[in-house]
Amino acid sequence: MTQPVSPPRDSADKVPSTNEAPAWRSLVFRADVRTLSLLGVLAALIVIGGITKPDEFLDTRNLQLVLTQASVIGVVTVGMTFVITSGGIDLSVGAIVALASVWATTVATQEYGFAGILFTAVLVGVGCGLVNGLLIAYGGMVPFIATLAMLASARGLALQITDGRTQIVSVDGILDLGERDSYVLGVPPLVMVFAVVTIIGWLVLNRTTFGRRTVAVGGNAEAARLAGIDVRRQRLYLYLLSGLCCGIAAFLLIILSGSGQNTNGNLYELDAIAAAIIGGTLLSGGRGTITGSVLGVLIFTTITNIFALNNLQSDVQQIAKGAIIVAAVLVQRRTASTT
């Protein structure tokens, strides 16, 4: 009987020998090039911001604002990165954020205070993700269609709950978190949540079996299935995860705006997908990078901020965003074809 191969005992095996160093290094180097180029773009933007509006852009308050704004969409993008890495797409994230934010801010929910709002936002997010996941993984629906349907329904339900009105939050614990007094060493709580979600996301994607399965399903779903991975269950979990991130983002948005609105999260799906793609996650699946996604979010948020400071309207911003997406993907295609 063939015994399973046991890990080697002598430690020499784990030390890379000299003849394999080049290939190993080139892999790391290639990943670095991508990250470095994104960092380069971000640095260039900061220089541009610093030159055009030296006093306002580099002001601590402005940088805190940029990071705070990045936090909400950033948390959504982390979830989206997982879904895209698995070869899927989630078009419903913006609508889920809207639904979760209004459900969590109804008069009834607010009676339960801080915990009630947090719990409801997360639960609504996960619930929507569950529906998406079941439809896609077990109902055999195409992710694009299933989440498009969720987009429409969740937005509709959000409108029904609010009747178009803004639901003001009157729970002190929530509002306090948006105040400057709650900043720790100058870092807003929202940004800390974003940082924690990012770190956990990075670890899960790169260091756990869940992350491996995600990459395997996205890289080659048939191969993953034949290797004994439960592809359907993995897909279900991924949409749950995306919904969870939306729930957390909705909670952050409630803190940020002190209210819940059915128009919240408008076009978040496009921003999150765009950030993930320019970050280096493959839309076809099989490769995902949390670092890249977060840099993508920071790049977009910084652009928006610079444009706003320079009194350029959102139409110009949109055009610039579009151009950046095209440029980033073209550059990636070039590098992909040369490797």
Partner 1 sequence: MAPQPPLLSMSGITKSFPGVRALDGVDLEVQAGEVHCLLGQNGAGKSTLIKVLAGAHQPDTGAIRWRGEDVTLRSPIAAMRLGIATIYQELDLVEHLSVAENVHLGHEPTAAGFVVRGRAARASTAALLKRLGHPEIEPARLVGELSAAQQQIVSMARALSHDVRLIVMDEPSAALDPDEVDNLFRIVGDLTAEGVAVVYISHRLEEIRRIGDRVTVLKDGRAVAVGLPAKSTPTREVVALMTGRNVEYVFPDRPASAPGGTPVLEVEGLAREGEFEALDLRVRPGEIVGLAGLVGSGRSEILETIYGARKPTAGQVRVDGHALRPGSVRAAVRAGLGLAPEERKAQALLMLESVTRNVSVSSMSRFSRAGWIDRGAERGAARSATRELSLRPDNPDVPVRTLSGGNQQKAVLARWLLRGCRVLLLDEPTRGVDVGARAELYAVVRRLADEGLAVLLVSSEVPEVLGLADRVLVLREGRVVHTAPARDLDEHRVLDLVMEGSPAS
Site residues (CB under 8 A) for partner 1? 1-8, 13-14, 16, 19-20, 23-24, 27, 207-210, 212-213, 215-216, 219-220, 222-230, 286-287
Q: How far is the CB of 111 from partner 1 (least distance, A)?
A: 37
Closest by Cα among 298, 301, 296, 303 to 276: 296
Q: Which is nearer to partner 1, 224 or 249 (CB)?
A: 224
| Residue 27 beta carbon to partner 1: minimum distance, rounded to whole angstroms | 7
Cα→Cα distances 206→85, 186, 213, Å: 12, 30, 11
For the bound state, the minimum distance from the C-beta of residue 68 to partner 1, rounded and expressed in Å, comes to 32
Between 8 and 140, name the residue whose CB sits nearer to partner 1: 8
What is the C-alpha separation between 67 and 47, in angstroms, rounded?
Answer: 17
Closest distance of CB 10 from partner 1, Å: 10
Distance CA 116, CA 88 (A): 32
* Shortest spacing between CB 9 and partner 1, in angstroms: 9
CA distance 47 to 70: 19
HSE, side-chain direction, 13 A CA sphere, residue 291 = 11
Nearer to partner 1, 4 or 111 (CB): 4
CA distance linking residue 164 with residue 187, whole number of Å = 33
Q: What is the 3-state secondary structure (H, E, C) of 236-304?
A: HHHHHHHHHHHHHHHHHHHHHHCEECCCCCCCHHHHHHHHHHHHCCCCCCCCCCHHHHHHHHHHHHHHH
Cβ distance to partner 1 smaller for residue 27 or 152: 27
Nearer to partner 1, 20 or 181 (CB): 20
What is the closest distance, in whole angstroms, from the C-beta atom of residue 332 to partner 1 in the complex?
Answer: 14
- Backbone φ and ψ for 334, nearest 5 degrees, come out as -60, -50
Residue 118, SS3 per DSSP = helix
Q: Which is nearer to partner 1, 34 or 213 (CB)?
A: 213
